[in-house]
Structure 1
């Protein structure tokens, strides 16, 4: 009899633990019944970083040519800052020319006796994933491959990515880049990041330099046309219009494939459907269809996200439930209404509604110090869905900046004294 009671108590205790764990689990709008062959994957809202699907997304793995997104971010940044020009002529070193002639690698042939524009090399890097082309861009930008890798490392560190391993601009093994290899590295070393890290890089690229999508959606382009080395470059992205894995009603317009022995078949994709853009990453998608499995996996994730979840949009200046006003004890009015500093989106399951979303804000017990000016930053708000927190790529992504909707002048000394007296009673 006693043993039966022990069994019952054990079952009850297990149920309590399970329910507690469920209550503490983050709301991650993970698509139901998603089964992908990739070792790791993730889907995020491109603007906010809200995680919509995740599988081993924190595991650091080789990323192959998806590395080029980071390289191209730095190149575009340099162009925007005026350090590089689109029509600037680029000289090719003998070693980079040698890399470009390696038939085991994806390349456009570069001739050390010719020069190429930054735009030519940029398009070759993105459309055709030309390895020597992106290395040449890095050398032109920084002065050497080593210095460019240092810039790559500094950039990801600035974004809060601490576990990335970066060795070259292209994502090749160090043994494949000859004298462009980073000093004192093994020949087998190659760039590594987690799917979450790659999603951060992709979201920074798309948000900071959206013009990149004009190039990544191109399926064909000529390189060195009119020369002996001319090539009609064809994209490796099979999800673009007219390709094998194109999906009707899904505006897939990028982003970058990656392939190596260690990385397997990888793909970072992005799609804008009904005004809501998401970014997906699949890594080491080596199933029965091998190279094409990365696109089948991406299709599965994209379809499930848009089918099972919906975006709730908030306009700039919108007042948020439970975070609508802030205390201003010494103001002429003792509260000020608040609104968010920029538009945002929160995804919820189809069965949920806007009422499922609740916001909380942090404010010191003393309240705001008067005077308060209109559009002054007065706090941070965070959201929960049905009482559970939402997960984001980075912790800072969860914080919505809140601004004052109007100015509040400081009350005169007599009003402030009267309030102090009244508060005593």
Structure 2
């Protein structure tokens, strides 16, 4: 959670106030219009394809608080994958990270300035306990000692991921006021800004590109520096994990966030069977409220949507089973879907989806024909599913699902480039064919 002020509320007291079953409703909700969320902004998506299932003011810009840390998580995992840093690499703690980590009104594990921590230790403190000092230490590691440089990378990555209207001024999601004069980006009262759709896109890309992040996100409790005098018990602020206060079946992530300006927010993800849902709730009025609003969305999704195969592998459109090929050994080539298309569909609406073929223009000549040579299995376009029902289709987090919720269309055989003799004979054939058509047309005109 807290990027985020604890304000003296003890874990025991908060837990006791949240035990009432009446806080969160238990029934599923049948229609999107019936989902009445008290959050200022909210969104629910298919965690596998990014298909939007429900949205309320999802483009409204709000402070994401500690949900910002998902971007830091993304960049840490990216750096690991590229070999720029290692999990067992030791990290020196700066005065800045040290001083922030000593503020226990914020979510923190107290760090020592005379000790080096591994990237893994700091990452777990950030992902499980939302530790702000640990987050800053990682940001400085990746930013060559400067959180300001790291923030520039955060903003650049947001654009690369297609996240609109995002503005990062720090790595933790705290208000700059809480940074004790160490802020390098923005003004004293500035805070990170995102939309619910932007947070959902970040969360979606995080679990899609680095699914291993859920191995850490789903840890309910872990000791930091266990066995040392610095040990501290880190209880995951995501109290919807199955073994915690608001245990929800299948919940395994992802990130809470709280500041005075942001209110209580939560990006959650749960998987049941072959269905993964991802929701974002922004700006509720209470700690327990964000989890209640999340449950509403999750219940709606799991109750009313099922994974459906809309197109099988090898599917051919009735009116486009072949495409013309220019200057090929064959004049046309068969095309079919490379993979099946499976998406979450509202119950009873499978028939409301129509396949639409989109050609890859880089394979076309000036006359709109495919150019030879072509390999068997060469991608020449894709089929996307168009919703034809009476309701509005909210689309995907990323345009056309960015490869998900659609399938590539490939050639079913190879077509070599025709040699000069074939092209000459074909040209002669076209000449006589056109001449004959002209003659028959003229003769018909006589009668």
Q: Normalising TM by the smaller chain, what interval?
A: 0.7 to 0.9
Q: Which residue of 2 aligns with 1:165?
A: 167
Matched, 1:371 2:369: no
Give the total of aligned pairs: 389
Are residues 318 and 41 of structure 1, via their aligned partners in 2, closer, same or farther at CA, if it must alter by over 3 Å? farther
* 3-state SS, counterpart of residue 362 of structure 1: strand
Q: Which residue of 1 aligns with 2:396?
A: 392
| Structure 1 residue 389: Cα displacement | 5.2
CA contact (8 A) 2:333 2:411 kept: no
**Whole-angstrom distance in 1 between the partners of 2:149 and 2:33:** 45
Are residues 423 and 100 of structure 1, via their aligned partners in 2, closer, same or farther at CA, if it must alter by over 3 Å? farther
| Structure 1 residue 179: Cα displacement | 4.5
CA contact (8 A) 1:371 1:409 kept: yes
| Structure 1 residue 159: Cα displacement | 1.5
CA contact (8 A) 2:356 2:385 kept: yes
| Structure 1 residue 356: Cα displacement | 2.8
Match runs of 1:303-322 below 5 Å = 303-313=299-309, 317-319=313-315, 321=317
TM-score (norm 2): 0.81
Are residues 321 and 255 of structure 1, via their aligned partners in 2, closer, same or farther at CA, if it must alter by over 3 Å? farther
CA contact (8 A) 1:145 1:180 kept: no
| Structure 1 residue 34: Cα displacement | 0.7
**Whole-angstrom distance in 1 between the partners of 2:195 and 2:210:** 22
Q: Which residue of 2 aligns with 1:148?
A: 150
Could you tell me which runs of 5 or more consecutive residues in structure 2 were left unpaired when the two chains were aligned.
1-29, 438-447
**Whole-angstrom distance in 2 between the partners of 1:102 and 1:323:** 67
* 3-state SS, counterpart of residue 284 of structure 1: strand
Q: Which residue of 2 aligns with 1:406?
A: 413
**Whole-angstrom distance in 1 between the partners of 2:80 and 2:297:** 34
CA contact (8 A) 1:223 1:232 kept: yes
| Structure 1 residue 391: Cα displacement | 0.8
Out of 332, 335, 338, which is 1:337 matched to? Answer: 335
Deviations along 1:387-415, whole A, 9 cap, x unmatched? 67561112242664332233223453224
Could you tell me which runs of 5 or more consecutive residues in structure 1 were left unpaired when the two chains were aligned.
1-28
* 3-state SS, counterpart of residue 204 of structure 2: helix
Q: Which residue of 2 aligns with 1:328?
A: 324
Q: Which residue of 1 aligns with 2:4?
A: none
CA contact (8 A) 1:325 1:337 kept: yes
CA contact (8 A) 1:336 1:408 kept: no
**Whole-angstrom distance in 2 between the partners of 1:39 and 1:395:** 25
Q: Which residue of 1 aligns with 2:12?
A: none
| Structure 1 residue 367: Cα displacement | 2.4
Are residues 102 and 381 of structure 1, via their aligned partners in 2, closer, same or farther at CA, if it must alter by over 3 Å? same
**Whole-angstrom distance in 2 between the partners of 1:91 and 1:214:** 26
| Structure 1 residue 419: Cα displacement | 5.4
Are residues 417 and 149 of structure 1, via their aligned partners in 2, closer, same or farther at CA, if it must alter by over 3 Å? farther
Match runs of 1:13-412 below 5 Å = 31-143=32-144, 144-183=146-185, 185-247=186-248, 250-286=249-285, 290-313=286-309, 317-319=313-315, 321=317, 325-330=321-326, 331=328, 332=330, 334-340=332-338, 344-353=341-350, 355-363=351-359, 366-386=368-388, 391-397=395-401, 400=406, 401-410=408-417, 412=422
**Whole-angstrom distance in 2 between the partners of 1:111 and 1:379:** 56
Deviations along 1:261-306, whole A, 9 cap, x unmatched? 11101000111122121211000122xxx11111111111111112
CA contact (8 A) 1:328 1:367 kept: yes
**Whole-angstrom distance in 1 between the partners of 2:431 and 2:374:** 20
